[in-house]
Structure 1
C-alpha cells in the first residue's frame, strides 16, 4: 500500500538564491518526494553563463525566475528575464538561456520522466552490450542528453562529464 505524500512547502527559493555561494551553479534543489508526478529543480547559472540551444522533444517546461537576470532565446526572438517572470516552454521548441551579470536563478517544473532503462540490442542487430551512455547522463539531475555533442544538461544546466 503506497503512502500519499502530504502537501506543503518543499523549499524556499528566495533563501536558496540568497544563500547560494558565488561558485554555486547547477541544481541548488530538486523535488524528491516519493510518488510524485512532477519534477522540479531550482537552477543557478553563474554570471554570463548559459544553457546552449536545445529542444525538449517530449515535455512542456514551466520556468519561474527567482533571482538574477538573463535572456531567453527562441525562434520568436529574445526575451529579458527578471525575478517574477514565468515562462512556458512548449515541447518541441528550440530554446537557450543566458545569465546576466548577476547570474540567473530559476525554478523549472515539468511532468516527471519515466526512469531510464538500458537494454541489449536486438539479435538481428548483432546483439552484444548496449552502448555506454554515461557521458551523456547529467551528474546533477540524471537527465540523458539528446544530442551526442551536448556539453551541458538541457534540464538543469550542469556541465556533462568529459568525453
Structure 2
C-alpha cells in the first residue's frame, strides 16, 4: 500500500474528549499524522453564545466548518455571517477569521483543516487555557507549529 494513503475509521466513543469549562467540548477525530497529512478533523461544541476562536489565520491550510446543530457566527474579510444547522463556512489560507456560537444559540461544529496539521496538542492546550491551568501566552511561540497565527 502507498505510504501516503491512509484509511481511517473513528468512533466518537474512542475519541479523546476535551471538556471546556462552559459546557462545550472538543472531540479529537483525526490528526494530520492519522491521514497522511491530508486533513485534520475535530468536533467542537460551543455553549450558548460562546466564542470559539478570536481572530487568527492559517498560512498552509483551508479550514472548513460544517454546522451539525445550532448556529454559529463567522467573521472574515470584514463581514460577519451566521450559518445554521446543515450549512458550512470555508476559509482559505491567509484569511483572518473568528467564530463562535450565535447569540442565544449553541453550536456543534465539525471542523476540517486541509492539508492537515498535527494540532491535537493545540486543542489540549486550549482546554487547559480555558480551564485556567495555563496562560494563553504559552501558545504564542507555537503559532507556526500549529499553523494558527493569532491577531492580537
Alignment TM-score > 0.5, same fold: yes
| Ranges in structure 1 where 5+ consecutive residues have no aligned partner | 13-19, 116-132, 150-163
Alpha carbons 1:136, 1:148 under 8 Å: kept: no
In structure 2, the CA distance between the partners of 1:97 and 1:106, relative to structure 1 (3 Å rule), is same
CA distance in 1, matches of 2:11, 2:112: 14
| Ranges in structure 2 where 5+ consecutive residues have no aligned partner | 13-18, 120-135
Alignment-derived partner of residue 88 in structure 2? 86
The 10-residue stretch of structure 1 (44-53 or 32-41) with the greater mean CA deviation from structure 2: 32-41
In structure 2, the CA distance between the partners of 1:22 and 1:148, relative to structure 1 (3 Å rule), is closer
Alignment-derived partner of residue 153 in structure 1? none
Q: CA-to-partner distance for each residue in 1:74-111, whole Å, 9 max, x for gaps?
A: 12512111111122100111111121223211111122
Q: CA-to-partner distance for each residue in 1:9-54, whole Å, 9 max, x for gaps?
A: x346xxxxxxx99943241232157353211111112211112111
Q: Does 1:135 align with 2:138?
A: yes
Alignment-derived partner of residue 27 in structure 1? 26
- The one of the two structures with greater contact order (alpha-carbon pairs below 8 A, sep at least 6) is 2
1:121-132 residue pairs with structure 2 within 5 A? none
Normalising by structure 2, we get a TM-score of 0.61
Alpha carbons 2:8, 2:35 under 8 Å: kept: no
Alpha carbons 1:71, 1:99 under 8 Å: kept: yes
Normalising by structure 1, we get a TM-score of 0.57
In structure 2, the CA distance between the partners of 1:47 and 1:134, relative to structure 1 (3 Å rule), is same
Alignment-derived partner of residue 105 in structure 2? 102
Alpha carbons 2:41, 2:111 under 8 Å: kept: yes
Give the paired residue count: 121
1:1-163 residue pairs with structure 2 within 5 A? 5-6=6-7, 8=9, 10-11=10-11, 23-32=22-31, 34-37=34-37, 38-50=39-51, 51-100=53-102, 101-110=104-113, 111-113=115-117, 135-136=138-139, 143=146, 145-147=148-150
Structure number having the greater strand percentage: 2
RMSD (Å), alpha carbons = 3.6
